[in-house]
Amino acid sequence: MSAIEVERKRGVAPADFIRDHLTGVGVPAVVTDAIDAWPAREKWTLARFKAAYGSDLVPVLAERSDGASRVTKLAWFVDFLGAPDRGLPGFWVDADSRPLRTAPAEPSGPYYLMAWRAFRRHPELYDDIAPAPSFVADWQRALDPEERERLEAAHERDYSAIYIGAEGTLSRLHQDYGHTHACLHQIAGHKHCVLYAPGDVERRTPYECVIGPGDTLFMPPDWWHEVRGLDPTITVSHNFFNDTNVDAHLSGVPSTCRSVSTGARAR
């Protein structure tokens, strides 16, 4: 069966988006003007990240069965993306972040930076991704920092992350955590995305799109998706909840964290 092309739209009103993309299991969409006002569109380049945050130690992943990653400086990783033949300095750690005594064989696939935790280490970066996209309600943004930190700790995931990768980086087929809505906001480069509805257990009806600079791919909760970089990329991954999925999102967290939904509703 041929793939269904994910609908691209702009200037969409929230009420129309709810009707068209948040009913039932929902339907993904590419919104082309959601981040037009973000300073990140102009400010975020590999060169700027290297200059401002190059001393950060970061674990970069490669496609490996043992879950090992290479810890390096962000500046070295940026240099490596421009000249991969020179090799990537650093040291190896296992899936539990323990240093490996013996370095494993170099991976055949490209390295992918997915665990920088940039917003936690450099909160000023939040200023570069404001205002929030207006096409869908995002209650996560209404949380105060302590509430957000409690929920992130409970899920062992950050709501927002910056991904940096080379051509060919692959995020294999998966569902995002906690029944969250998800957005991939593309700052630089292009990605090919394939998605499947939550109930499509045979995965016979793929939805497909390519996102480029300025595009936002919206995915409703529990949609399966696989994403491949077509060239060097900078992406903001953002997970969130609102009135359509707050109960499902909070169902798996301790009761002490569930009270945050009341505050989010009130704001």
Model confidence pLDDT, tens digit, residues 7-65: 999 999 999 999 999 999 999 999 999 999 999 999 999 999 999 999 999 999 887 66
Out of 43-57, 96-110, 169-183, pick the least confident. 96-110
Does 170 lie in the same domain as 107? no
* Exposure string over 21-57, b if 16+ CB within 10 A, otherwise e: bbeeebbbbbbbbbbeebebbeebebeebbeebeebe
Does 108 lie in the same domain as 199? no
151 alpha-carbon distance from chain centroid: 17
Does 96 lie in the same domain as 202? no
Other Cβ atoms closer than 10 A to 231:
13
Residue 47 domain flag: no
Residue 52 domain flag: no
> What pLDDT score was predicted for residue 266?
47
253 alpha-carbon distance from chain centroid: 21
Helix (H, G, I), strand (E, B) or coil at 47: helix
Q: Which of 27, 18, 7 is nearest to 135 (CA)?
A: 18
Residue 127 domain flag: no
Other Cβ atoms closer than 10 A to 175:
16
The number of domains in the chain is 2
Region of 99 please: left (phi>0), alpha (psi -120 to 50) or beta: beta
| Stronger pLDDT, 240 or 62, i.e. the higher one | 240
Query: Structure pTM?
Result: 0.92
Residue 63 domain flag: yes
> What pLDDT score was predicted for residue 34?
98
